[in-house]
Amino acid sequence: MSREINFMVAGEAGQGVQSVGFLLAKAFSRGGFHVFGNQDYESRVRGGHNFFRVRVKEGRVRAINETVDVLLALNKESIDLHRRELADGGVVIFDNDKIATPAGNGNQLGVPLEKLAEKEAGGKLMTNTVALGAGLGLTGYDFEIVAELLREHFPAAEVGKNNVRAARAGYDYARNNFEGKFDHQLHPVSDIRRMLLTGNEALTLGAIAAGCKFMAAYPMTPASSIMEYFAAKAEDLGLVMVPAEDEISAMNMIVGASYAGVRALTATSGSGFCLMVEGLGMAGITETPIVVVDAQRPGPAVGLPTRTEQGDLEFVLHAHHGEFPRAVLAPATIEDAFWSTVKAFNLADRYQLPVIILTDQHLASSYGTVDKFDMAQVTVDRGDLFTAGNDNEAGEYKRHRITRSGISPRAFPGQSRALVITDTDEHNEEGHLIEDGPTRTAQVQKRLRKLFSLKQEISPPVLYGPKHAETTLIGWGSTRGAISEAVDILRREGREINSLHFNDLWPFPGEEVADAMDRAHHSYVVENNATGQLARLIARETGKKASGHILKYDGRPFTPAQIAAKIREGRCDDGIHS
């Protein structure tokens, strides 16, 4: 039995590409397989070419593959665009009543998709479900798993029954009519139940687990599903989700909520974050803890609104005029999206500052199988909270009291024996605005002193592979899966190579990366941007210059094969393009 299979569902927006991709991924996860599913879609409600890759393995998988074993082509354009990606022995499934049999070599399975949908399910609306069944029938997968899943996914009894009939029709047609050779026969490998989540869903669950009760946001791809998922849980979990009129309002709302004592979140993309910057500075000077998600997409301006990029690193490090401390985290995997968000809320409260989570469309929208999160490992740390008698000095409460750590005990408006005052002008310890130089200097130094302790809580980059290697690949955020697999590919070829990957980016953990670069003869920074932003940050903070870059900025994620090819070819400064 094959240990891996790669599906692609492709067609126009409106043909159900996303639904079939999700159901494929879910069906195989139900059989104990590990799954990674990646969506590629245009910024249109209908029309435009969309596709959904689903990679299925018995072992852990965190990246897409360039080759396709089964192409479910819902229109002719999909065959024209993706047939060249078929692996040896791969199969194209298409509607042979609508599309002429494609010319050329390769396995083909013409299925009367629309006709079967009308005959078995009463309408062509379920054409995509027939295609789903045909793809699974080709592999011989347990149909009852698919049937159970369809009944769950379509809870209305008649709709569920019709979808099961449609899938069965496609499944049986593929089993009875495919005359070629297809080696990828799959059967359930275990009854282990894993969650199938996107990065955004895991991030939202992390926020809820961390005690976040309030979210305000304006919808912006690829962050929109965070607010949708949070809103869907609001009634059951006692949450408040406010769909703000714009990003300025959303940021100001979460600053206000946090000032009142509620853990609060907002999520946006780069151009929305631009509008939030003034509010970010308000949180900085008032020492109000907030968590902000920047789900990156290509810019500038609208850029490619449904594609992926890592172009906002330098922006979020320096956003807003003036100087104040912040933390920047960049989860690398779907699991990391959960745990980084828990960490973000604890850091925000502990150090009374903004924490920015940098994700991107690739991580935000990709599906992956995840083991259940161990909730016993979730801690909620609200930091140094004021209670009468624990303040550092006798007398009235001072919101911005000068302390050695830079952290002042925090009270909330209305709290007994604590009059809470703050100001977005520079202020004194009591929170009243000032103009004199010595007080200004003392307050700036107080806030910046937090960085000394904060830096101790920043996780070092993760080493993958042997400590000593000829070549080190360095990355951050969502590129980890592709980089790690590229290391595996190259090590199987006999190359001495490892990788170092950042989940936490600021305060910058420079010592580990400097040591790793000293140990390697060559170091290459792998980034989804055009200018090597992490490479510049490393050089600025450590004085170490990488040997070169592997950059990709066409709006698509890296694949392991692309990275491995660049290392083999020794071409690490000319970018990767579609």
- Dist CA 418 CA 421 (whole Å): 9
Residue type, position 20, single letter = V
Cβ burial, residue 384 (10 Å; 0-12/13-18/19+): middle
For domain 196-372, which architecture applies? 3-Layer(aba) Sandwich (3.40)
The Cα–Cα gap between 189 and 166 comes to 26
Between CA 137 and CA 134 the distance in angstroms is 5
Looking at residue 396, its pLDDT comes to 87
pLDDT at 154: 93
Query: Rounded to the nearest 5°, which phi and psi values hold at 537?
Result: -65, -40
pLDDT at position 388, please?
Answer: 74
State how far the Cα of 324 lies from the Cα of 329, in Å rounded to an integer: 17
Burial annotation 509-526 (CB, 10 A radius, 16+ → b, else e):
bbebbeebbeebebbbbb
List of the chain residues with pLDDT < 50: 1, 392-393
pLDDT at residue 19 in the model: 95
So what's the pLDDT on residue 47? 80
Q: Does this chain's domain 4-177 share its CATH topology with 196-372?
A: no
Single pTM value for the model: 0.95
The confidence score (pLDDT) of residue 45 equals: 78
DSSP label at 410?
Answer: B
Domain 4-177: CATH architecture, name and number where available: 3-Layer(aba) Sandwich (3.40)
pLDDT at 392: 47
- Side chain identity at residue 41, one-letter code: Y
Query: Residue 1: what pLDDT?
Result: 41
Task: List the domain boundaries for the chain.
Answer: 4-177, 196-372, 384-457, 462-569
Q: Where are the alpha helices (DSSP H) in 213-269?
A: 224-237, 247-259
pLDDT for 106 equals: 64
> How many secondary structure helices (H) and strands (E) does the chain include?
18, 20
- What would the CATH number be for the domain defined by 462-569? 3.40.50.920
* Measured distance CA(348)–CA(254) in Å, rounded: 13
In angstroms, the Cα distances linking 243 to 132, 240, 281 are 35, 10, 22
| β strands within 264-409, DSSP E | 264-268, 290-296, 327-329, 354-360, 367-370
